[in-house]
Chain A
Amino acid sequence: MSAVIEVKNVSRSFKSVKKEEGMKGAFGLLVKPQIQVHDAVKNVSFALEPGSFTGLIGANGAGKTTLLKMLAGLIPPSEGEARVLGYEPFKRTHDFRRKIALVMGQKAQLWWDLPAIDAFDLIRAIYEIPTATYKERLNELANLLDVSKHLNTQIRRLSLGERMKMELIGAILHWPSVIFLDEPTIGLDVLAAHKLREFLRVFNQREKATIILTSHNMDDIERLCSRVLIMRAGKLIYDGKPAGLTQAGARQLRVRLVQTPSAEELATATQLPASAIEIEEGPEGESSKVIRFSVKQDQIVPLLQALMAKFQIVDMGIEGESLEKVIQNLYEEDKAVL
């Protein structure tokens, strides 16, 4: 199957003016502005199959949104080449724009003072959607997202979750082949996020639309994406299945001890880095704390031996490493890189 999105050695850098602190900085800006170059995306390559649902994750500033913007044709790459549905995105031909959708969780596309139904009518005309098809789609999308009764309400009077759902409807009324979603569940409550996720899953499966989703919510990634791209400081550091991140023998050893040692004492006793040790409050009524060690499968026995040599174990268990934890670790490594 040929790729619907192809990215080859794409890089993107931005220039910005650096302002020093205080009045001196303000004068400096007037007289001799200092230009700094920031590499937001560095030599990224990947290809996506039609109908795939891909998660693009990384810490803030990792380059995810910049990559999406390049793929949606908003900004050109500084180097390299990107193709979406065979089009060069930045040429932004009308045909290309008819086939894609971009939803940015932090940018409203609908008009604040108008009810969503008025904005949708304009979108219908822009994409030349036949009226019968439009009504059918709107009805279906509004039902799936449970917002039918809010279609005639001014956007500004809707809750954040309802607004986001309307944004999504407005973005995909034209049934795009490729959808770029930038943090669509940001700020949503558990129920609204669940509805939105469920909707995306159904839409992807039924319409075979190719979807790229950026999110900091690991639930989004775990439940929806068959593939994950992880970016760190502009570079693509992982491209594979979400399970691939957690199946490489990563485990969590959970123990409760009679003693209450500090993280440093535990790190010294087990020879593990402090970042691999987490201490939580124990069950109610119990004075002992729950300690979690993030380790590989083959580290468990030596770890237990080291613990038993120094402490008394009350309770223990072995759990698989959660995706959330893996990503958290990656983000922490990010900070070190940045």
Chain B
Amino acid sequence: MNVGSIPLLRELRWPKFQWRIAALKNGFQDATAYRVEFLLEIAGSAFVPAAIQSVLWYAMFKIGGATTVAGMTYPEMLHYTFMSILFTQIRGGDLDFELSEMVRSGQLSNYLVRPVGVVEFVWIRGIAPKALIAGLCLFIGIGFELYLGVSPFRIVGAMFLALLGNIIHYQISAALAATAFLWEEAYSMLMVKNMLVNFLSGELFPLNMIPERWAWVWKSTPFYLYVYGPTQFALGRWSTAEYFHQLLFAAAWLVVGWLLIRITWGLGIKRYLSLGG
């Protein structure tokens, strides 16, 4: 049997992994070309939400006099904030903007002539620095779990869920970015998507603060799998059964995301104009 004739087996051949590993290396080198900028970006993205949330919780609990908010005490809220910041670092970045700009400017042509899938290629290069950050967050998370007295295995499972969230986020973003093939103003749509993600992923506040009658809103999107879900599991607020249940959801979203990319990019590429040059 000729292995090369079966697409899945063909992708599992070692040389097919080689380019992915090389792209990962390349993406990492690119992201860390300016070390200070790289480190400041991480510090900035962690510090700003931490500071905002800390002030907010302080105001509610210490100034406002609340004892619990959405069933959480002041220390629990701070634990949530700290842990959620670790997972916020893993969630996808602005690769969708990069994709839509590539379509708009014609830079996509550079990738289309190479024998690799452009959507996957861009993701691999983008995930490279995130992988390093995930390792660092895992290390910090284990220390925090030990301090809280929670099993450190939870942070491993939570990090895995956060990484699946990263893929789902990219899939949805890439599908939306494909609108740039027919609509030059795709940029604004991506901004709206980002605002929704900020709100519904749980990176700004625990989603159980949203009234129960509106809970269907965040539960019907996969965004809570990026930060809220992993944080809940890492802090021991989700049972293992619940975790596996959510993994199934994540798997379903992955399939949906894969289909979305196939359809949107399959249709979009036919309308590509390869402008410039």
Contact = CB atoms under 8 A, between A and B. Distances in A.
B106 interface: yes
Contact of A111 (B18, B22, B30): B30
The 8 closest A-B pairs by CB, nearest first: A125-B22, A113-B33, A97-B115, A94-B115, A125-B19, A104-B277, A74-B274, A128-B15
Contacts of A69: 109, 274
Contact of B29 (A102, A118, A182): A118
A158 B213 CA distance: 60
B51 interface: no
A107 B106 contact: yes
Nearest to A107: B277
A99 B214 CA distance: 55
A242 interface: no
A101 B113 contact: yes
Given A69-B274, A125-B18, 12 more contacts: A74-B113, A74-B272, A97-B114, A107-B107, A113-B34, A118-B29, A122-B23, A122-B25, A125-B21, A126-B19, A126-B115, A128-B18
A180 B251 CA distance: 42
B276 interface: yes
Contact of A104 (B109, B115, B273): B109
A240 B79 CA distance: 76
Main SS of chain A's interface residues? Answer: mixed
A28 to B, nearest CB: 17
Contact of A75 (B25, B30, B273, B276): B273
Interface residues of B, number: 27
B2 to A, nearest CB: 14
A180 to B, nearest CB: 9
B245 interface: no
A4 B191 CA distance: 46
A63 to B, nearest CB: 14
B116 interface: yes
Interface of A: 14, 65, 69, 72-76, 92, 94-95, 97-98, 100-102, 104-109, 111, 113-114, 118-119, 121-122, 124-128, 154, 182
B7 to A, nearest CB: 11
B184 to A, nearest CB: 9
B26 A121 contact: yes
B112 A92 contact: yes
Contacts of A107: 106-107, 109-110, 276-277
Interface in B79-127: 106-107, 109-110, 112-116
Contacts of B114: 97, 126
Contacts of A14: 273
Given A74-B274, A106-B276, A119 B115 contact: no
A114 B273 contact: no
A124 B270 CA distance: 29
A245 to B, nearest CB: 26
A113 B15 CA distance: 26
